[in-house]
Structure 1
Amino acid sequence: MSSPLRIGPYALPNRLFVAPMAGVTDRPFRQLCRRMGAGYAVSEMVTSRKDLWNSLKTSRRANHEGEAAPIAVQIAGTDAAMMAEAAAYNIDRGAQIIDINMGCPAKKVCNKWAGSALMQNEPLALEIIEAVVRAAQPHGVPVTLKMRTGWCETEKNALLLARAAEAAGVAMVTVHGRTREQGYKGFAEYDTVAAVKAALAIPVVANGDIDSPAKAAQVLAHTGADAIMVGRAAQGRPWIFAEIAHYLATGAELAAPRVQDAQAWLLEHLHDHYSLYGELTGMRTARKHIGWALRGLPGGEAFRQHMNTLQSCEAQIAAMRDWFGALAEQHERLPYLPAHALTADAANDEYSEEQA
């Protein structure tokens, strides 16, 4: 993994990617993860419905102010012409890479035959891929594809679709090692990812259940993938990318971050978050990021419950500063509790449909 990985004309600094997660990977979170060692980050999915492009939600998702290149935007939809138009729309607004969503398992997405539901309709999936590539090519913008292993255990067609996507001009494929039927339950399998990697000449990215440096190394070894994509494990722990990079380079675990450093990173993220969303929405949507950051720390669950009662951004900042300040007086580095000591809610924190 020494030579740079390229997506079209873009050479990436490393092979550690942040997964696109609706309701999570907004611009402030992407920038935080990249500061913490991720080499590439993809936006939340943007709808291909033109009537929603001017909505506040979509405009925030399409906000790339100050974001480092390459700027990658994921689009979702069910109509080839609309998806092509969505690609052009986002390219006009700064997208340098377009990613097609065929991996989201959320019911509100799949019920409209978007996301991973497209894997049930191979002709339509290929029509969309070809239309988006045609729309992006005149601008020199590469197109990538994110998908699952298939719709269900008996219908795994990732290999077939990946080959077709490569032939259509897709520059990179990411495979989450679960079916749509699994959602985020059970365990990811990587044999399908390995089969896709063995069959394609373009880069292949492994995704699913990569939650530690050791697991990252195991998945890379098993699949031969060109890169790995981390999703849920980066929530509240964006320094996982630095931890993985250190482990892959040395074979040794990196020490947990200093409490004071983590406090500075998280407070900087909150300020960036508030600047995008404003006072009221920023305060409310910051709660999940704060909760993830506290997960696994002694007293974190009780403090999270208190945090959810606060009604202003200033109060959140002050409470976070005080709590981490008190933690720093007792511990130099983040003192994560063992998994068996976590509450059921903290240990099993899962996506909502909005975050899938």
Structure 2
Amino acid sequence: MVKIRNIELGEFPLLLAPMEDVSDPPFRALCKESGADLMYTEFISSEGLIRDAAKSVAKLDIYEYERPIGIQIFGSEIESMKEAARIIEKTNPDIIDINYGCPVKKVACKGAGAGILQDIPKMIRLTEEIVKSTSLPVTVKTRLGWDDNSKHIYEVAERLQDVGIEALSIHGRTRKQMYKGEADWTLIGDVKNNPRMHIPIFGNGDIDTPEKAVEYKNKYGVDGVMIGRASIGYPWIFREIKHYIETKEHLDGPTFKERLDVTRRHLEMSVKWKGETLGVIEMKRHYTNYFKGIPHFKEYRTKLVTSFDLQEVRDTLDEIELKFTELVE
């Protein structure tokens, strides 16, 4: 049984990665239904949180059915991060996660996210201060290093554990790689198999099929896997991996009706939570995967991703139902 403190996550937990404008409450609800064992919020700016910025505060919304749930923060200033952790603790999540992995320029170039990989001593000090400032378990998500010449994750993992983190998720790329090339899991395996490490180690990067999840589980010995991009528009990946682990057989993919029903639910939840304009816009990244593999669908995909009007999107989904239900089922 994999545990973070007293939080039981199962024998081989599947984690939903924190993704900006993706892992919001509507999407998390769908991933939880499909079997995600631990989910994290979108990352929250510590500076935004202590300034009471509306976007940052909204990301604190968590619901009982999501548990266990972690709230993820990023920032480069120790006092701001400590204050943000105190604010987060009042919302009663199960875990506080620190983002040391975001490679986006506007984050990393301010010394936050993956930017802190250029200053490992500060990373360790910052982590220690956050651990001291909260009674909640603290976890970390990071990368192998800043670039190919600074892949210090083996030593960094030990030092993070020494200052009190209770789980570590490692993305198998450097900051310089962004999301390009293949994730290198070799160092993730080295960290997991380091006899000094006793906290759960979760691997992240390129897990997009049930076979790959099982292969990496067996090859690298990780305690669980964190799934990011492969879940966008496809929350079913969690149930498919679980089924494959248990049976070594493939679960049939979602039916066309299920794809359509979940798309509609996701859209309505998104609009309800974010408002019509943003709710419609942020659904666009999901449509390609929701309807992936359906023949002669390009015209309708284009309609979905170019429309900014809620009723227009609803009408397009109605058209899709009329045209494709009998063709596909």
TM-score, scaled relative to structure 2: 0.94
Select the residue among 227, 231, 253 that pairs with 2:228: 231
Residue 296 of structure 2 is matched in structure 1 by 299
Matches within 5 A, 1:273-292: 273-292=270-289
Offset, 1:56: 2.8
Partner SS, residue 73 of structure 1: strand
Residue 20 of structure 1 is matched in structure 2 by 18
Asked if the contact 2:300/2:316 (under 8 Å) is kept, the reply is no
Select the residue among 184, 187, 212 that pairs with 2:182: 187
Residue 132 of structure 2 is matched in structure 1 by 134
Partner SS, residue 150 of structure 1: coil
Residue 216 of structure 2 is matched in structure 1 by 219
For residue 61 of structure 1, what is the amino acid of its counterpart?
Answer: K
For residue 111 of structure 1, what is the amino acid of its counterpart?
Answer: C
Residue 72 of structure 1 is matched in structure 2 by 70
Structure-1 separation of matches of 2:73 and 2:225: 21
Structure 1 alignment gaps of length 5 or more: 333-356
Asked if the contact 1:71/1:94 (under 8 Å) is kept, the reply is no
Partner SS, residue 178 of structure 1: coil
Select the residue among 309, 314, 317 that pairs with 2:311: 314
Structure-1 separation of matches of 2:156 and 2:58: 31
Select the residue among 172, 193, 209 that pairs with 1:198: 193
Structure-1 separation of matches of 2:223 and 2:49: 37
Structure-2 separation of matches of 1:181 and 1:22: 19
Residue 86 of structure 2 is matched in structure 1 by 88
User: Structure 1 residues 152, 68: CA separation in 2 closer, same or farther (over 3 Å shift)?
Assistant: same
Deviations 1:60-95 (A, max 9, x none): 211114542222111001112211111111111232
Structure-2 separation of matches of 1:330 and 1:81: 59
Asked if the contact 1:178/1:189 (under 8 Å) is kept, the reply is yes
Structure-1 separation of matches of 2:159 and 2:143: 15
- Residue 99 (1) aligns with residue 97 (2): yes
Matches within 5 A, 1:237-252: 237-252=234-249
- Residue 152 (1) aligns with residue 152 (2): no
User: Structure 1 residues 52, 296: CA separation in 2 closer, same or farther (over 3 Å shift)?
Assistant: farther
Deviations 1:255-300 (A, max 9, x none): 1111112222221111111111111221222222223423443233
- Residue 55 (1) aligns with residue 53 (2): yes
Residue 111 of structure 2 is matched in structure 1 by 113
Structure-2 separation of matches of 1:44 and 1:296: 28
* C-alpha RMSD over aligned residues: 1.6
Structure-2 separation of matches of 1:316 and 1:10: 40
Residue 348 of structure 1 is matched in structure 2 by none
Deviations 1:119-178 (A, max 9, x none): 1111100011101101112xxx10001010111112101111110111111110001111
Structure-2 separation of matches of 1:134 and 1:51: 19
Partner SS, residue 195 of structure 1: helix
Asked if the contact 2:287/2:305 (under 8 Å) is kept, the reply is no
Deviations 1:290-335 (A, max 9, x none): 2342344323332121123434223312322331443221122xxx
Structure-2 separation of matches of 1:292 and 1:240: 11
For residue 210 of structure 2, what is the amino acid of its counterpart?
Answer: P
Structure-2 separation of matches of 1:322 and 1:273: 21
Asked if the contact 1:210/1:216 (under 8 Å) is kept, the reply is yes
- TM superposition outliers: structure 1 runs of 4+ over 4 Å: 50-53
Residue-pair matches, total: 326
Structure 2 alignment gaps of length 5 or more: none
User: Structure 1 residues 207, 309: CA separation in 2 closer, same or farther (over 3 Å shift)?
Assistant: closer
Select the residue among 42, 50, 55 that pairs with 1:44: 42
For residue 163 of structure 1, what is the amino acid of its counterpart?
Answer: E
For residue 98 of structure 1, what is the amino acid of its counterpart?
Answer: I
Residue 166 of structure 2 is matched in structure 1 by 171
